[in-house]
Amino acid sequence: METTNQNKLMKKSLFVLLLAILSQISFAQVQLSDEEIEQKIDEIIPQLSLREKVDMCHAQSKFSSPGVPRLGIPEIWMSDGPHGVRAEINWDNWGYAGWTNDSITAFPALTCLAASFNPEAALEYGVAVGEEARYRKKDILLGPGVNIYRTPLNGRNFEYMGEDPYLASKMVIPYIKGVQSNGVSACVKHYALNNQEEWRGHINVNVDDRTLHEIYLPAFKAAVTEGGVWSLMGAYNKYNGQHATTNKVLMNDILKGEWGFDGVVVSDWGSAHDTDESALNGLDIEMGSWTNGLTASRDFAYSDYYLADPFYAKLKSGEIAESVVNDKVRRILRLMFHTNMNMARNFGCKNNKEHHDVARKVATEGIVLLKNEDNFFPIDPETTKTIAVIGENATKMMTLGGGSSELKAQYEISPLEGIQKRFSKATILHSMGYSSGPSWYGSVVEPKENQDSLYQAALETAKKADLILFVGGLNKDHHQDCEGGDRLSYDLPFNQNALLKDIININPNTAVILVSGNAVAMPWLNNIKALVQAWYLGSETGNAIADILSGDVNPSGKLPFSFPVKLEDNAAHSFGELSYPGDSIDEYYKEGILVGYRWFDTKKIKPQFPFGYGLSYTNFEYGDLKTDKKAYTADDNVTVSFTVKNTGKVAGSEVTQLYVSDPKCSVMRPAKELKGFDKIMLQPGESKEVSISVPVSSFAFYSEENHKWVVEPGKFILQINSSSADNQLKGTIEVN
């Protein structure tokens, strides 16, 4: 008996030993160092035929590019992006494949993530969405988007991270690291200057160098140099008269030159327009929209791509050197060794509790409380009797629509459902108030419902309630928050302003919950009690909204972009049509670096709500500002410390914000710029010391003359704020 046990034990130890040895061997095989990857690539490239190399540089289906089966090199599979993994699309047209296993967790759109001002939340978000992408067998997730919020009319603002390059940079880095920890490449987009949908395919953006470097490039640069992103998507629009995707300055000089990007440039779908430009100006994989290989007259239309047969012909004749395609293949293989040729990557998972928790956490952290007269919120679920929930957005599914970021969510809890569940002791009345109609990408359809009856029914409902929650805003249809078109007006659509006015007349105990990815005009603001900016929150929408309304979670989101009172107050719009949307050929960014709060502050125009603004159910008191030194050199870090105390009755988080101004400079500087932030959580009565450390070099401006970043010696003013417009503490330092 004993011997048998001993034998068993021995066998077991041997097995464990063998496993250990095997895993060491396979570990050594799969965890390649950068150097080993380059060696492998050196070995692979000579084995590839010219045709095989060219094939790797263009699409073979809507979302994949070919591998080389002969050598065991796999295909690359991509998916949108950016706030969830899109449902399977047909091989060769835009229809959905109708799979039953491709529903996912819908995470909040990136405006909400940015509003959390919480880089740790961005990491958790990236890990979770990356796990879902990996489970769905995707090698590249087409996101995140970091185009700067220039105008509230841009239909795709909801996909991006706001108006401030520093905030977008700090949030994009952890998102990328999180996604890529799964062996899935993030694909930061749309590089660059794709700041509107109107004429996005051809509008030529004229912007000065300083503005390009200070406002529109930093988040992309951070994605590359700090996030280590493995792929990047070129944009549709033009810059300097050349399409962005194949733009010499953007791709060769800046991205692959100055920033040393060694990853893959993927075109936006159909954003390449020329073989020489595509070959020579940095494009590595050409993807497309406007071909249909199965039904068009050609056998295989993908062969007509600029980086397909025409590229092959030029390589074959020697007109383009073979080193050009070799460089593309090297980049593609490098991405593969991190993704589909990385045997160590995990298997991923989707729709698990952890992902739902991340979605809910980011959603509640990003919701912004904008007004709260007489402590309207939180509403007590135990004592409130009758609540009227009015507005189409209380029930409209917002994971549908919006263009390429549309999702097939496993579930989406509507605001109404969330409110009904959390306020189960109250009577909840519901009325749509208006209907937007069944619209889809690229077209608007008149609604069938009788608008007048919906309107009257809403007023009747308003009469019966103790309080009203108006859940309105925009939606994901064409000319709203949607790809492929811009908004046509700054106002709320579907007659909501008139309806709200009448509702308030009946019952002024009204709060508005704005579901949108953009700022809107608010002529009713003074007459409502409270206002919540609720973004597009994904699967957990209703739960997250109820968390905030009930006070289960104390709001801590801050606006990632300014809300102007009227459209003309926004910088881009104040310069007329050539500045936005352009004349259909050219567009001039006449406001230069004065985008968002930089404009409002410098020009002393009061916004409706400033960048960085958001209320809490508690109050914070700031004090004791200190810097570690009084004088610095341009190579130093400045460490700013101060205390924050929660002086209210509930726990809460505050986003403390460091702004810097350069009062005396040889060039114009914005009144102030965000250079650091820290989100802290405080119990009632608790006080904490906060330290924010930033490099003095980040105070630089981009010198057009010398093409470099310059910090001029002199005084710099440091402000600690609770929003861009609300200064709490101020200090001065000297830079020598």
**Separation of alpha carbons 336 and 340, rounded Å:** 5
Nearer to ligand BGC, 282 or 612 (CB): 282
Nearer to ligand BGC, 64 or 372 (CB): 64
**Count of residues that interact with ligand BGC, criterion CB under 6 A:** 7
The two tokens of residue 204 are 């030529």
Question: Residue 271 Cβ, how far from ligand BGC at the closest point, in Å?
Answer: 8
Rounded alpha-carbon distances, angstroms, from residue 587 to 124, 316, 579: 38, 39, 6
Task: Name which position in 68, 73, 142, 413 contacts ligand BGC (CB under 6 A).
Answer: 142
Nearer to ligand BGC, 194 or 646 (CB): 194
The reply on whether position 701 binds ligand BGC by CB under 6 A is no
Q: For residue 572, which amino acid is it?
A: A
Nearer to ligand BGC, 402 or 670 (CB): 402
**Which residue is it, tokens 């986003």?**
655
Residue 487: strand, helix, or coil: coil
Question: Residue 264 Cβ, how far from ligand BGC at the closest point, in Å?
Answer: 14
Q: Which of residues 199-218 bind ligand BGC (CB under 6 A)?
A: none
The reply on whether position 404 binds ligand BGC by CB under 6 A is yes
Render 268-283 in DSSP notation, one character per residue. PTT----HHHHHHTT-
Site string for ligand BGC, 163-192 (x = CB under 6 A): --------------------------x---
Question: Residue 273 Cβ, how far from ligand BGC at the closest point, in Å?
Answer: 15
Nearer to ligand BGC, 239 or 613 (CB): 239
Element (DSSP H or E) covering residue 28:
helix 2-30
Nearer to ligand BGC, 91 or 575 (CB): 91
Nearest one of 404, 520, 356 to 145, comparing CA atoms:
404
Strands (E), 163-293: 185-191, 204-206, 231-234, 238-239, 242-243, 264-266
The phi, psi pair for 695, rounded to 5°, reads: -70, 140
Question: Residue 126 Cβ, how far from ligand BGC at the closest point, in Å?
Answer: 17
The reply on whether position 132 binds ligand BGC by CB under 6 A is no
**Maximal CA-CA distance, the chain:** 92
Nearest one of 221, 224, 267, 269 to 244, comparing CA atoms:
267
Partnered with residue 233 across adjacent β-strands are 266
**Separation of alpha carbons 378 and 361, rounded Å:** 18
Strands (E), 58-112: 64-65, 76-80
Question: Residue 41 Cβ, how far from ligand BGC at the closest point, in Å?
Answer: 27
Q: Which of residues 70-109 bind ligand BGC (CB under 6 A)?
A: 80-81
Catalytic residue from among 80, 102, 139, 268: 268
Task: Determine whether 304 is an active site residue.
Answer: no
Q: Which of residues 440-459 bind ligand BGC (CB under 6 A)?
A: none
> In terms of C-beta distances under 8 Å and separation of at least 24 residues, what long-range contacts does 379-382 make, across chains too?
379/423, 379/467, 379/549, 379/550, 379/551, 380/550, 380/551, 381/422, 381/423, 381/424, 381/425, 381/426, 381/550, 382/425
Contacts of 458 (CB under 8 A, 6+ apart): 390, 431, 432, 433, 434, 499, 503
Q: For residue 566, which amino acid is it?
A: K
Question: Residue 144 Cβ, how far from ligand BGC at the closest point, in Å?
Answer: 11
Indicate the residue whose CB is closest to ligand BGC: 404
Question: Residue 79 Cβ, how far from ligand BGC at the closest point, in Å?
Answer: 9
The reply on whether position 147 binds ligand BGC by CB under 6 A is no
The reply on whether position 268 binds ligand BGC by CB under 6 A is yes
Nearer to ligand BGC, 124 or 197 (CB): 197
The reply on whether position 244 binds ligand BGC by CB under 6 A is no
Nearer to ligand BGC, 80 or 92 (CB): 80
The reply on whether position 269 binds ligand BGC by CB under 6 A is yes
Question: Residue 140 Cβ, how far from ligand BGC at the closest point, in Å?
Answer: 10
Q: What is the set of active-site residues?
A: 268
Could you list the residues that contact ligand BGC (CB under 6 A)?
80-81, 142, 189, 268-269, 404
